[in-house]
A and B are shown apart, each in its own frame.
Chain A
Amino acid sequence: MLRVSHLSCSRGNKPLFADVSFELQAGQVLHLEGDNGVGKTSLLRIVCGLSPADAGEVCWHGQTIQQNASQFRASLFYLGHGLSLKEELSALENLISDAAVSGRALSEPQALVALARMGLRGREHLPLRVMSQGQKRRTALARLLASQAPFWVLDEPFVALDAKAVDGLRSLLGEHVAHGGMVLLTSHQPVALTVASGASVQVQTYRLRGVA
């Protein structure tokens, strides 16, 4: 369970946002909305523990993420603006080495299943260099699929995806929360998730306002 209390943040001596608080339980999705430049990416990075906040704290299962660091990181998957993929490696090599670096076991068959699910069957052994932007994005999402981490923090995950991939991601997110996972994401489009049965998933929103 994630609890964010009274976070404030500034960038380059200018205050961005102040006194942000929200909670996220298992099985919930939080869509972080806000204008460009208000600090959505900064907030996500603070939640992950990459950037420090000026004030406030982020708690995971009752302890701050600094106290609880290794357990928190083991439960977290962050997808930022950078794809976190190596261009010279193939999609398969990327997934396997990424899993190992994050301390997760991922066998080759499992990785191939994840890539196939994201529509990359037949392209697993190509170096990322020769793929299109959309295919690279889908490889990044295959990483997500293979991670099995309960808490997903996604920064603009729908960017550069075609309609079919968008649907795929929507159902992926829906399934994840149906199985008890948590998702915190930003997106400029409205987020409507579905599960396999067709029922829609409730998505909470939080509108981030900047400091005047």
Chain B
Amino acid sequence: MSGGAFMAVLRRDLLLAMRRKSEVLTAVFFFVVVAALFPLGIGPELNTLRLVAPGVLWVGALLSSMLALQRLFEADYRDGTLEQMALSPTPMPLLISAKLLAHWLVSGVPLVLLAPVLGLQFDLSADALMTLTLGLLLGTPVLSLVGGIGAALTLGVRGGGVLLSLLVLPLFIPVLVFGAGAVEAQASGLGAEAHLSILMAMLLPAAFFSPLACAAALRIALE
């Protein structure tokens, strides 16, 4: 029955995202805008652009994730659905992991798919684009998982958006360092395996512990 509850939450969140497209598109649009504005601000020199590309694109992905995090639990909190999840006999961390997965599918995967396209604007090589995409594929789930804890803690709190960003910013930095670092390592010929392995090493514990922490934070918010 627990598997059924997990799928029910996942299906519901995906269905809601499809019917509320505007929210989803905002965060993705932001990523595109950041990637498009930077070359305009820095100048068209391809060598410079290639240098800054990993950092710029990763920061864009980070900021886009921060924007998207705000709506992770907000709606459920307001309409009482979150309470029902807390009262379900199914363990809450399991239901929360379904929400986090749905959130990543809706807010993270588009970034992964867009990144190679945007990377072309910065004249990144095919290998660099591959490393960038792989890094985002491993890193964006970590952002959703870890950011979810911040979103849960700031539910319904004054100054939510800014506060959420302040809370998750330190936690995002390792992902940024290794994600952008992977592309730079690849470009300088050192190979990105180490960086990508570390991203993977962050993803696995986060996938396990974050739903537990989120559930604890949500119960605190519901008290």
Touch A–B, Cβ below 8 Å: yes
Chain A positions within 8 Å of B, measured between CB atoms, are: 48-52, 70-71, 73-74, 76, 78, 80-89, 93, 97-98, 100-103
Complex CA distance for A93 and B19, rounded to whole angstroms: 13
Residue B15 lies at the interface, judged by CB distance under 8 Å to chain A: yes
Complex CA distance for A70 and B81, rounded to whole angstroms: 18
Question: A98: nearest residue on chain B (CB-CB)?
Answer: B84
Kindly list chain A residues whose C-beta atoms are within 8 Å of the C-beta of B222: 50-51
Question: A97: nearest residue on chain B (CB-CB)?
Answer: B12
Chain B contacts with A in 111-159, Cβ cutoff 8 A: none
A137 CB to closest chain B CB (Å) equals 13
Kindly list chain B residues whose C-beta atoms are within 8 Å of the C-beta of A82: 78-81, 83
Kindly list chain A residues whose C-beta atoms are within 8 Å of the C-beta of B8: 97, 100-101
Checking B7, B15, B80, B89 against A102 with a beta-carbon cut-off of 8 angstroms, the contacting residue is: B89
- B89:A74 contact, CB within 8 angstroms: yes
Question: A48: nearest residue on chain B (CB-CB)?
Answer: B87
Checking A48, A83, A101 against B79 with a beta-carbon cut-off of 8 angstroms, the contacting residue is: A83
- B16:A84 contact, CB within 8 angstroms: no
- A101:B5 contact, CB within 8 angstroms: yes
> Which of B2, B12, B86 gathers the greatest number of chain A CB atoms within 10 Å?
B12
Residue B170 lies at the interface, judged by CB distance under 8 Å to chain A: no
* Also in contact, A76 and B223, with CB within 8 A (given A84-B80, A97-B11, A100-B5): no
Question: B85: nearest residue on chain A (CB-CB)?
Answer: A101
- B16:A73 contact, CB within 8 angstroms: no
Complex CA distance for A84 and B12, rounded to whole angstroms: 13
- A101:B83 contact, CB within 8 angstroms: no
Kindly list chain B residues whose C-beta atoms are within 8 Å of the C-beta of A97: 8, 11-12
> Main SS of the interface on chain A?
loop
Residue B192 lies at the interface, judged by CB distance under 8 Å to chain A: no
Chain B contacts with A in 1-56, Cβ cutoff 8 A: 1-2, 4-5, 7-9, 11-12, 15-16, 19-20
Complex CA distance for A4 and B29, rounded to whole angstroms: 53
- A84:B79 contact, CB within 8 angstroms: yes
Complex CA distance for A73 and B86, rounded to whole angstroms: 9
- B2:A76 contact, CB within 8 angstroms: no
Checking B84, B89, B90, B95 against A84 with a beta-carbon cut-off of 8 angstroms, the contacting residue is: B84
* Also in contact, A103 and B80, with CB within 8 A (given A50-B222, A89-B12, A97-B11): no
- B223:A101 contact, CB within 8 angstroms: no
B99 CB to closest chain A CB (Å) equals 11
* Also in contact, A80 and B80, with CB within 8 A (given A48-B87, A49-B87, A73-B88): yes
* Also in contact, A89 and B15, with CB within 8 A (given A100-B5, A101-B8, A101-B84): yes
> Which of A74, A83, A84 gathers the greatest number of chain B CB atoms within 10 Å?
A84
- B80:A101 contact, CB within 8 angstroms: no
5 example contacts (A-B, Cβ-Cβ < 8 A) are as follows A51-B222, A76-B87, A101-B12, A101-B88, A103-B5
Kindly list chain B residues whose C-beta atoms are within 8 Å of the C-beta of A89: 12, 15-16, 19
What 9 pairs between A and B have smallest CB-CB spacing? A82-B80, A100-B8, A84-B80, A74-B89, A88-B19, A73-B89, A70-B89, A97-B12, A103-B1
Question: A70: nearest residue on chain B (CB-CB)?
Answer: B89
* Also in contact, A86 and B83, with CB within 8 A (given A50-B223, A101-B5): no
Complex CA distance for A102 and B86, rounded to whole angstroms: 9
A113 CB to closest chain B CB (Å) equals 20
Question: B15: nearest residue on chain A (CB-CB)?
Answer: A89
Per-residue A-contact encoding for B69-87, CB less than 8 Å = 1, 0 else: 0000000001111011111
Kindly list chain A residues whose C-beta atoms are within 8 Å of the C-beta of B89: 70-71, 73-74, 102-103
- A101:B95 contact, CB within 8 angstroms: yes
> Which of A49, A86, A93 gathers the greatest number of chain B CB atoms within 10 Å?
A86
